[in-house]
Every structure is written in structure tokens, then in C-alpha cells.
């Protein structure tokens, strides 16, 4: 399993719902954790490892949280700004506006549905990862001309690395 990088087309696809939580899905999710940690990420979505399926993992300080077929149930009206980066676009960061709190429902590794209310950094990471399942990158949430500038910077860095 390896990371794929922008502009890989899988990052732009709407990922497919998981029909059942098979051993393959569980293995993929558990394999994503060390890959994410090695890359110093706090969240990783299946399209970022080339799998166009609707699941992601988030790991802050505690145990990893696994989200399969996640759906947003509610988002706060209040928004906030925080600097984001992405393992699919290494080397660039930008401040992104997002709702401060979300309620999400999903299926866990055991195939059981759960609902989670999150705020702060966790809410931020969840929204970023959920975007990946819809082919959306954090740069899409920036206004022009910043969006073009930052992608240009990324492509330059990529060309020289």
C-alpha cells in the first residue's frame, strides 16, 4: 500500500460505498494507520491509497477511529479557520474555513453503525477526510487567487523533488 499524490485522478473520483465490511476492508484500514503515522498524518482516506471506496481513518492522540460509509448528520453554523495540509499534496498548507462542529454517522470495523459528535481538531480532520471520499481536496475550499497560487507552488515543488 502506498500513498498517491495530486493530480492522481483517483483523488478526484466520488468513492463507492462499501457493501459489507470484509476482511479486505478491515486489513486496508489497519494497514493505513502505520502508513499515515510514518507520513505524520492524522487522517487518511481510502482514495489517498488508490482505493476509491468510502472509508477513512483518523488518529489523533488515542486509538484510531475507523469510519466506513460515513455521512454527515449535522454541521454547526459557526465556522472557524485552521491551517490544513494533506498527505496527497505534500509540502503545502493553507487556512481553510469549515464548520466548527459536526455529527457524523458511519460503520465501524466490526460492521456496527455509530454516531459521533465532534468539535475542535477532530471535527476538522473528519470533514477533511470526508471531502476525500467526494473527490474534494482542501485546496478546493480556498478562494482564488490563493487556490491557483498554492497549486502552482505544489506543482513546482513536485517537479523539482
Q: How many residues bind Ni ion (CB under 5 A)?
A: 1
> Containing H/E element for 153?
helix 146-160
Q: Which is nearer to Ni ion, 7 or 111 (CB)?
A: 7
Does 44 engage in binding with Ni ion (CB under 5 A)? no
Interface segment toward Ni ion; rule CB under 5 A; list 8-16, 30-38, 49-57, 80-88: 80-88
Of the candidates 93, 97, 82, 26, which has an alpha carbon nearest to the alpha carbon of residue 57? 26
CA 132, chain centre distance (Å): 5
Rounded Cα gap, residues 36 and 26, in angstroms:
16
What b/e string do you get for 78-113 counting C-beta neighbours within 10 Å, with b at 16 or more? eebeeebbbbbbbebebebebbbbbbbebbebeeee
- 3-class secondary-structure state, position 91: coil
40: left (phi over 0), alpha (psi -120 to 50) or beta: left
Residue nearest to Ni ion (CB): 86
Q: Which is nearer to Ni ion, 1 or 111 (CB)?
A: 1
Does 86 engage in binding with Ni ion (CB under 5 A)? yes
Residue 106 Cβ, how far from Ni ion at the closest point, in Å?
Answer: 17
* Catalytic annotation, residues: 129
Residue 112 Cβ, how far from Ni ion at the closest point, in Å?
Answer: 26
Residue 86 Cβ, how far from Ni ion at the closest point, in Å?
Answer: 3
Does 3 engage in binding with Ni ion (CB under 5 A)? no
Residue 154 Cβ, how far from Ni ion at the closest point, in Å?
Answer: 13
- Interface residues toward Ni ion, by CB under 5 A: 86
Amino acid at each position: 500500500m502506498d500513498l498517491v499524490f495530486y493530480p492522481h485522478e483517483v483523488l478526484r473520483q466520488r468513492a463507492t460505498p462499501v457493501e459489507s465490511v470484509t476482511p479486505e476492508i478491515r486489513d486496508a484500514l489497519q494497514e493505513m494507520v502505520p502508513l499515515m503515522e510514518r507520513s505524520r498524518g492524522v487522517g487518511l482516506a481510502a482514495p489517498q491509497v488508490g482505493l476509491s471506496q468510502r472509508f477513512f481513518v483518523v488518529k489523533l492522540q488515542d486509538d484510531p477511529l475507523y469510519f466506513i460509509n460515513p455521512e454527515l448528520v449535522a454541521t454547526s453554523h459557526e465556522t472557524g479557520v485552521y491551517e490544513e495540509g494533506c498527505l496527497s499534496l505534500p509540502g503545502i498548507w493553507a487556512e481553510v474555513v469549515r464548520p466548527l462542529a459536526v455529527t457524523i454517522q458511519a460503520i465501524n470495523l466490526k460492521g456496527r453503525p455509530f454516531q459521533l459528535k465532534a468539535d475542535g481538531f477532530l471535527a476538522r480532520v473528519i470533514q477533511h477526510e470526508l471531502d476525500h471520499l467526494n473527490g474534494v481536496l482542501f485546496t478546493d475550499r480556498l478562494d482564488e487567487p490563493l487556490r491557483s497560487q498554492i497549486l502552482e507552488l505544489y506543482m513546482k515543488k513536485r517537479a523539482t523533488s
